[in-house]
Amino acid sequence: MEHRTATVNGVRLYFRLSGAGPAILLLHGWPQTGREWDRIVPALAKFGTVIVPDLRGSGFSDKPATGYDKVTLAKDVDALVTSLGFERYAVVGHDIGAMVAYPAAAFFRQRVTKLAFLDVPLPGIPPWDEVLADPRVWHFSFHAQRDLAEALIRGREYLYVERFIRDRAFNPAVIGDDEIAEYARRLAAPGTLRASLGYYRVFAEDAAANRAFAQEKLRIPVLGIGGDRRWGPAMQGIVDAIAVGARGAALADCGHWLAEERPAELAAMLVDFLKT
């Protein structure tokens, strides 16, 4: 993949490119970076130009003090796509990246052609209120504790990332020690921990924005995919709340990390969705 940086919407974003043709934007989750898509990119790059940024606050991109609401992050990545000369694009997001992908599609309705989001509830969109009471999302509240979360994670990034990732995998062995070490190194880099925890500290703002967006449902193709051992059973209800004629699906024997746990199956589903 080609490695680049671009300054857009007031921040410098690091991103990678592969393939040629229509733009396909891939947005990562937490505590990951764009590297999470490495198993998927080769299949998608046969059908389009795959754009894989590190979000503001993560990886090799800038870590400003503000701007972690998902509408601002959506504006970042939309401006990145524009800077590359694309007027329209499809967007695929996982986890926090999916929380960015939805407002990108809802805010830039004339530009986003298709939306796929992977294994995450959306702030403000049913069943969000029930989700907040689910013990599986204990980290939402923990990460929102400014200063305390940083104090407890700092210096223990590898321990925290390893436990965080492997506890959410159906088969923990599919994500290697080298990948976990890379994510831990990036999280330990100056400014990253504080910045990336900011994604969780604006959920109330994100929820208000999403409720407003959902008043007018999307009419582009929308696909929600989850692991059957994580959010898969809830995906159809979530996509029905935000789009007309949307489709939900679950990958069998899969936890939260779809791109690593079921890369072949996920790639096939995304290719079928994006190329039609």
pLDDT of residue 109: 97
pLDDT at 117 over 90: yes
Q: Exactly one of 28, 94, 143, 256 is catalytic; which is it? A: 256
Number of residues written out for the chain: 276
Cβ-contact 53, 33 below 8 angstroms = no
> Is 95 among the residues known to form the active site?
yes
Helices H / strands E in the chain, number of each: 13, 8
Q: What is the token pair recorded at 146?
A: 């400014």
CA angle, 260 as apex, 141 and 133 as ends, to 5°?
20
pLDDT of residue 156: 98
Q: Look up residue 137 and give its DSSP letter.
A: G
User: Tens digits of per-residue pLDDT, 181-207?
Assistant: 999 999 999 999 999 999 999 999 999
The mean predicted confidence, pLDDT, of the chain is: 97
User: Tens digits of per-residue pLDDT, 141-156?
Assistant: 999 999 999 999 999 9
Mean pLDDT of 9-37: 98
Q: Exactly one of 68, 199, 200, 206 is catalytic; which is it? A: 200
Percent with pLDDT over 90 in the chain: 99
Q: Exactly one of 95, 119, 206, 240 is catalytic; which is it? A: 95
pLDDT of residue 95: 98
Q: Which residues 6+ apart lie within 8 Å of 98 measured at CB?
A: 27, 29, 117, 118, 119, 120, 122
Mean pLDDT of 68-72: 98
Percent with pLDDT over 70 in the chain: 100
Q: Cα separation of 112 and 130, whole Å?
A: 29
User: Tens digits of per-residue pLDDT, 30-40?
Assistant: 999 999 999 99
Distances 149 to 62, 194, 196, 215 between C-alpha atoms, Å: 21, 9, 11, 35
60: containing domain: 2-275
Cβ-contact 31, 187 below 8 angstroms = yes
pLDDT at 169 over 80: yes
State the total domains in the chain: 1
- Per DSSP, the three-state class of 145 is coil
Mean pLDDT of 239-257: 97
**Residue 162's domain is classified under what CATH number?**
3.40.50.1820
> Is 272 among the residues known to form the active site?
no
Mean pLDDT of 230-251: 97
Would you place residue 27 in the very low, low, confident or very high pLDDT band (cuts 50, 70, 90)?
A: very high
CA angle, 223 as apex, 35 and 67 as ends, to 5°?
55
Cβ-contact 224, 249 below 8 angstroms = yes
> Is 200 among the residues known to form the active site?
yes
CA 108 remoteness from chain centre: 17
pLDDT at 176 over 90: yes
Would you place residue 276 in the very low, low, confident or very high pLDDT band (cuts 50, 70, 90)?
A: confident
Q: What are phi and psi of 189, to 5 degrees?
A: -65, 150
pLDDT at 47 over 90: yes
pTM: 0.98
Mean pLDDT of 63-92: 98
User: Tens digits of per-residue pLDDT, 211-228?
Assistant: 999 999 999 999 999 999
